[in-house]
Amino acid sequence: MTEASLDVVGIGNAIVDVIANAEDAFLAREGLVKGTMALIDAERADALYQMMGPAIEASGGSAGNTMAGLASLGGTGAYIGKVHDDLLGQIYRHDITAAGVRFETPAATSGPGTARCLILVTPDGQRTMNTYLGACVELGPADIDPETVAAARITYLEGYLFDPPSAQQAFRRAAAIAHAAGRQVALSLSDPFCVGRHRAAFRDLVAGHVDILFANEAEICSLYETNDFGTAAAAVRRHVAIAALTRSAAGSVILAAGVEHPVAAATVARVVDTTGAGDLYASGFLYGLTRALPLPICGEIGSLCAAEIISHVGARPEIKLSQLLAEGGA
């Protein structure tokens, strides 16, 4: 096994977020489930956008956010995802590259435009997401660059990638390349409904191909079809080397080698927008892990990064996370 030249390669849906404030009544009227992600088609995206308030646009995508956060901490990373060669695609490429992440997946020149996620932020800071996958459906196994994957200590896959049809093959190909190169594979379950849509495939993947699993309570419970967090936690620890389970304001718990490490959430003066909380937790955790830091410290760095992201609108860090870390947050 050669020395890894990258900390993490992240693979995910390359999405530009369109973020607006909304009242709870708006969610109710439109039948949206708070805190979750729904897939929508182009027509619905246009209609929903018409109804939304003034918005800001910012690059997003779960694994993209995680990679931007990792780079902001000082980690080295690459990203694999599919944009279209249009204005939003150019914005996406600019933002992730300018964040310090290598991004070489070619843009699609035919087919649908770059993906958008219409995010409604309610007064409680919770986000409700509506994703039009657009060009993400064009991602396939051919986009997985074997050298990049083999060069990274960890290949990080977002669960959302199971939604576009051919991405699952890309996903499995990346995991196989990583393991053949003696690397680790990490997976984020992303969303309880996403888990519901692909439960069998996720269970198969977790049981046989995942070393490090990220999930929140709703997601891990959905995976094992239980309402009890303890039951779900007991199930997952049989399958993966490390499970980092996040519990919002209650912090997180890390399960590894038969030991359970509770980690407190970092303090936040005011929760403005929870978009990206899980993604940035993963940034911090993976940063620590690729530096062989103790697991509770990995979790604390994750909490610190999550706390930064929920203190403002948008899912990419507004300050250098390396500086935040140096200032002694963790």
Regarding 244 and contact with its own copies (CB under 8 A), the answer is no
Q: Which one of 21, 36, 168, 231 is in contact with its own copies (CB under 8 A)? A: 21
Minimum Å gap between C-beta 16 and its own copies is 9
Q: Which is nearer to its own copies, 53 or 182 (CB)?
A: 53
| Residues in binding contact with its own copies, number by CB under 8 A | 28
Site string for its own copies, 69-98 (x = CB under 8 A): -----------------xxx--x--xxx-x
Q: Give the position of tokens 């990274």.
A: 152
Closest CA to 132 of 20, 36, 48, 12: 48
Q: What is the DSSP string of 267-302?
A: P-S-----TTHHHHHHHHHHHHHHTT--HHHHHHHH
Regarding 313 and contact with its own copies (CB under 8 A), the answer is yes
Regarding 55 and contact with its own copies (CB under 8 A), the answer is yes
For residues 131 and 15, is the Cβ–Cβ distance under 8 A? yes
Minimum Å gap between C-beta 59 and its own copies is 7
Q: Which one of 52, 80, 223, 321 is in contact with its own copies (CB under 8 A)? A: 52
List C-alpha distances in Å: 54 to 18, 30, 49, 113: 9, 17, 9, 22
Q: Which one of 36, 293, 312, 322 is in contact with its own copies (CB under 8 A)? A: 312
Token code pair at residue 150: 């083999």
The partner residues of 285 in beta bridges, in order of sequence, read none
| Interface stretch with its own copies, choices 28-36, 164-172, 226-234, 313-321 (CB under 8 A) | 313-321
Count the neighbouring beta carbons within 10 Å of the beta carbon of residue 93.
21
Regarding 40 and contact with its own copies (CB under 8 A), the answer is no
Minimum Å gap between C-beta 248 and its own copies is 23
Regarding 6 and contact with its own copies (CB under 8 A), the answer is no
Compute the distance between CA of residue 323 and CA of residue 189 in angstroms, rounded to an integer: 29
Token code pair at residue 1: 């096994």
Q: Which is nearer to its own copies, 260 or 318 (CB)?
A: 318
Compute the distance between CA of residue 11 and CA of residue 9 in angstroms, rounded to an integer: 7
Compute the distance between CA of residue 22 and CA of residue 297 in angstroms, rounded to an integer: 36
| Residues near its own copies (CB under 8 A) | 20-21, 49-50, 52-59, 68, 86-88, 91, 94-96, 98-99, 312-314, 316, 318-319
